[in-house]
C-alpha cells in the first residue's frame, strides 16, 4: 500500500513539474494580444566589433531600427538620398500562431536655399548701387516604403518557424522649384541670378530660358507581394533573435523627367513658360530573394 501511495505521489509530482515547465516554457513565446518591435542587430554587432579592433570610424550606431525593403534595389539607393535608411518593424499577435506584421520607413524633407544677387533694376538706375534681391530654391526629397502582411508560427518550444506574407509599396520623389528676385521682362531678358546650375541642369539653357522647376530623376513607384520563411530563437522570455529570407515580386514604374522654364520668345515678343521633357517613363519587373528588415533581427514582445 505504501508503494502505491509513493508511486501516486511521484507521478503527481512529476505531472506538476511537467505542467510547471510547460507553463514556464510558454512564457517565452508570443501570445495572443502581444505587440512586438524589432531591430536589426547587425549594426550593434558591428559597433561592438569595431570597439575591440581599433577602428576609429566607430562614432555612432546607425540603422539601429529595421531596414526598408527597397534598400536591395538600385533604383531606390545610391546618391539620390530619397529613401530612409531605417524602418520601424512591428507585429501584433491575433492568436498564439497568427499575427499581423508591418515594416514602415518614412522620409519627408524640404531644403531651402536663399541667396543674395544684384538688384538689376536698382543697378540700371544707379551704376554704383549695391542693392540686393533674394533668389530662392526649394528642394523636396520624399520617400516611403511599406510592407503590410501577416505571419504564421509553428513550434511550441523556444525555437519557432515563422512564415510570412505581405503587400509591398514604395515611392520616392525629388523636385526643386526656383523663384527669382529679378523679374524677367521683354527688356531684361536674362536677369542676374544667384544660381549657376542645378546639378547637371543649367539655370539658363541655350535659348536663355531660365529654370523654374526640375523633378530630379523623376518619381518612382514600387508595388508588389512578398513571402518569407525564417526562424526565431527565444533567448529570453518574449525576446528573440531571428532571421528570414523573402521571395518578392514587384513592379517599378517611373514618371517622366521634365523641366519647367521661362524665357523671351522673339516670335511673339512675350515672356512665356514651357515644359521640356528630359527622359521618358520606364517600367521594371523584379522577382528574387532578399532579406527584408535586416539579416539578423532582435524582436521584443510585450
* pLDDT tens-digit readout, 167-211: 999 988 888 999 999 999 999 999 999 998 656 678 999 999 999
C-alpha pair distances (Å), 171 with each of 22, 146, 264, 270, 280 = 47, 9, 36, 39, 18
Q: Is residue 2 part of a domain?
A: no
Please work out, in degrees rounded to the nearest 5, the angle formed at the alpha carbon of residue 43 by the alpha carbons of 37 and 44. 75
Q: What percent of the chain has pLDDT over 90?
A: 50
Separation of alpha carbons 63 and 51, rounded Å = 17
**82 pLDDT above the threshold of 50:** yes
- pLDDT reading at 8 higher than 70: no
The closest of 106, 105, 71, 249 to 165, measured between CA atoms, is 249
Residue 255 has pLDDT above 70, yes or no: yes
Per-residue pLDDT tens digits for 139-167: 998 889 899 999 999 998 899 999 999 99
Please check whether residue 91 lies inside any domain of the structure: yes
Has residue 5 been placed in a domain? no
The pTM score is 0.75
Question: 4 pLDDT exceeds 50?
Answer: no
Average pLDDT, the chain: 83
In-domain check, residue 171: yes
Q: Count the domains in the chain.
A: 1
Burial code (b: 16+ CB inside 10 Å, e: under 16) for 126-137 equals eeeeeeebebeb
194: containing domain: 31-301
- pLDDT for res 34: 96
What confidence score (pLDDT) does residue 81 get? 66
- Does any domain span residue 22? no
- Distances in whole angstroms, Cα of residue 234 to Cα of each of 23, 44, 74, 98, 237: 15, 19, 34, 17, 7
Between 36 and 282, the more confident residue is 36
Q: Which three cell numbers stand for residue 235?
A: 533567448
Q: Does residue 1 belong to any structural domain of this protein?
A: no
- For residue 12, is it within any domain? no
What is the model's pLDDT at position 290?
77
- pLDDT tens for 37-50 read 998 887 666 666 66
pLDDT band at 220 (very low <50, low <70, confident <90, very high): confident
- Residue 147 belongs to what H/E stretch? strand 132-154
* Average of per-residue pLDDT across 214-232: 87
Q: Is residue 205 part of a domain?
A: yes
Amino acid at each position: 500500500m505504501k508503494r502505491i501511495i509513493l508511486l501516486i505521489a511521484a507521478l503527481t509530482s512529476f505531472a506538476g513539474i511537467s505542467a510547471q515547465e510547460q507553463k514556464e516554457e510558454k512564457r517565452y513565446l508570443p501570445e495572443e494580444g502581444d505587440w512586438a518591435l524589432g531591430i536589426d542587430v547587425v549594426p550593434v554587432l558591428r559597433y561592438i566589433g569595431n570597439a575591440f579592433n581599433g577602428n576609429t570610424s566607430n562614432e555612432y550606431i546607425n540603422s539601429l531600427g529595421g531596414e526598408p525593403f527597397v534598400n536591395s534595389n538600385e533604383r531606390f539607393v545610391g546618391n539620390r538620398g530619397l529613401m530612409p535608411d531605417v524602418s520601424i518593424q512591428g507585429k501584433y499577435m491575433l492568436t498564439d500562431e497568427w499575427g499581423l506584421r508591418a515594416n514602415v520607413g518614412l522620409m519627408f524633407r524640404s531644403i531651402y536655399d536663399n541667396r543674395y544677387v544684384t538688384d538689376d533694376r536698382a543697378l540700371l538706375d544707379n551704376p554704383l548701387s549695391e542693392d540686393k534681391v533674394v533668389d530662392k530654391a526649394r528642394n523636396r526629397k520624399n520617400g516611403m516604403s511599406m510592407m503590410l502582411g501577416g505571419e504564421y508560427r509553428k513550434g511550441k518550444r523556444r525555437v519557432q518557424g515563422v512564415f510570412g506574407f505581405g503587400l509591398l509599396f514604395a515611392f520616392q520623389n525629388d523636385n526643386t522649384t526656383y523663384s527669382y528676385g529679378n523679374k524677367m521682362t521683354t527688356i531684361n531678358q536674362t536677369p542676374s541670378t544667384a544660381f549657376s546650375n542645378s546639378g547637371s541642369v543649367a539655370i539658363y539653357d541655350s535659348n536663355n530660358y531660365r529654370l523654374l522647376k526640375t523633378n530630379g530623376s523623376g518619381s518612382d513607384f514600387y508595388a508588389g507581394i512578398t513571402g518569407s520563411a525564417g526562424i526565431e530563437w527565444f533567448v529570453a522570455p518574449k525576446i528573440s533573435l531571428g532571421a528570414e529570407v523573402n521571395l518578392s515580386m514587384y513592379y517599378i514604374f517611373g514618371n517622366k523627367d521634365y523641366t519647367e522654364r521661362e524665357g523671351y520668345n522673339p516670335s511673339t515678343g512675350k515672356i512665356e513658360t514651357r515644359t521640356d521633357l528630359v527622359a521618358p517613363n520606364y517600367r521594371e519587373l523584379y522577382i528574387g530573394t532578399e532579406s527584408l528588415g535586416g539579416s539578423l533581427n532582435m524582436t521584443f514582445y510585450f
